[in-house]
Amino acid sequence: MESMLCQAKCLADQITGWRRDLHRIPELDLDLPQTAAYVCARLEELGIPYRISEAHFGIVALIEGRSGPGRTVALRADMDALPIAEKAEIPFASQNGRMHACAHDAHAAMLLGAAELLMRNRACFSGSVKLIFQPGEECSGGAQRMIDEGALENPRVDAVFGQHAGVMATELPGGHFGFYPGAFMASRDSFTIMVRGRGCHGSAPAQGVDPVAVSAYLITALQTLVSREINGTDQAVLTIGSIHGGEVYNIIPDEVVLEGAVRCLNEGIRIQLEKRIREMCEGIARTMRASCEIVYERGYPVTMNDPELTAFAEQSARRLLGEERVDRLEKPLMGSEDMSVFLQHCPGCYWVFSTPPREGETYANHNPRFAIDDSELYLGSALMAQTALDWLARWE
């Protein structure tokens, strides 16, 4: 039988075409009617049964092997875009003020490619492969919504795999796949701090309570939570990304609003930072005669790769692609990922596929000039399909 890599290479132009079609129609969050319709049309062409959620456009498809019943493995890709006006100079750039600036178009295309490869090889495996096309990765927790609707049931998923394209690990050369066991990507929490003082004229600050001054102290002090309260061998990031207060240069306002994010690779540190942010903000505000209200929202958990399945997927990659294209990453990533929720419910592995453009400057994910080399996406399709087949073969 022709190797999976050779089969995938024959689909290279088709997978690239699918990615570019999806790139032209970016949609946001849980509202993906065009994107979902495109994916469903391709599934129908391949003869793959699926169901689509009326609530959020998530799609679950199922490929059953012809060699009999067995275990079930899931392959997952996200589909939503970002509210960014595209500035990449490519002929298929989006024109609707939204953009696939995090390679979700490539993820969906690669999963469609894997679907075609698996359909061609149905006679070779027992069990089932679930294809999960997820909405709402960027902000709305689409993974949990799909799980709540039964994406991991009927049949029950025993292992789940996925991948992220783009420039996720800067040390990873283009065309290489990177693996990391254990805590691979950080949790993501957000918070809002409303600092309340008492407004007055800027010429008479003693007549009021200056929330701007209080906020300045808070911003500086909060940074010490990581630099002075977290061990140097642990990793966490605390960012204040938004500050709003006041309208006129010579009037002290009543209120300043700060917004920020916390990323951790350890649940204990995550709990500690939430507690200390509250204590520090309330204490400093009280000391400076102000008050504050803190709204802390827990977001995605740590993306936890199962060590055994990570080693398994890495070995599948080495056999399929060769040693030269597969790397064990030296450190985890501080970005966050909704795949973490699937991995909380089911063991699996999430890896990265480096796809920087071959020419011109490389821009990071979420940049309006973000671009990828989509000529080798077939490699990602081949790896997803081969990993699924290898995993199912373990149980035959």
SS (H, E, C) 216-233: HHHHHHHHHHHHCCCCCC
Q: Which tokens hold the place of 375?
A: 């000529």
Give, in order, the Cα–Cα distances in Å from 21 to each of 35, 125, 189, 373.
9, 31, 33, 15
Reported for 317-322, long-range contacts at CB under 8 A and 24+ positions apart, including other chains, are 317/177, 317/179, 317/351, 317/383, 317/387, 319/386, 320/4, 320/5, 320/382, 320/383, 320/386, 321/5, 321/177, 321/379, 321/382, 321/383
102, 166 Cβ separation under 8 angstroms: yes
Strands 128-134 and 59-64: antiparallel
Q: Which residues of 117-146 are buried (b: 16+ CB within 10 A; e: fewer)?
A: bbebbeeebbbbbbbbbbbbbbebbbbbbb
Give, in order, the Cα–Cα distances in Å from 273 to each of 112, 238, 278, 296.
41, 9, 9, 11
Round to the nearest angstrom and report the end-to-end CA distance of the chain.
19
Among candidate residues 368, 381, 374, the one with its CA nearest the CA of residue 86: 368
Look-up: residue for tokens 């993820």?
107
179, 351 Cβ separation under 8 angstroms: yes
Q: What CA–CA distance (Å, rounded) separates 244 from 181?
A: 40
Active site residues: 80, 137
Give, in order, the Cα–Cα distances in Å from 41 to each of 37, 52, 118.
6, 12, 17
What is the chain's percent helix, strand, coil content, to nearest 5? Answer: 35, 25, 40
DSSP 8-class letter at 156? T
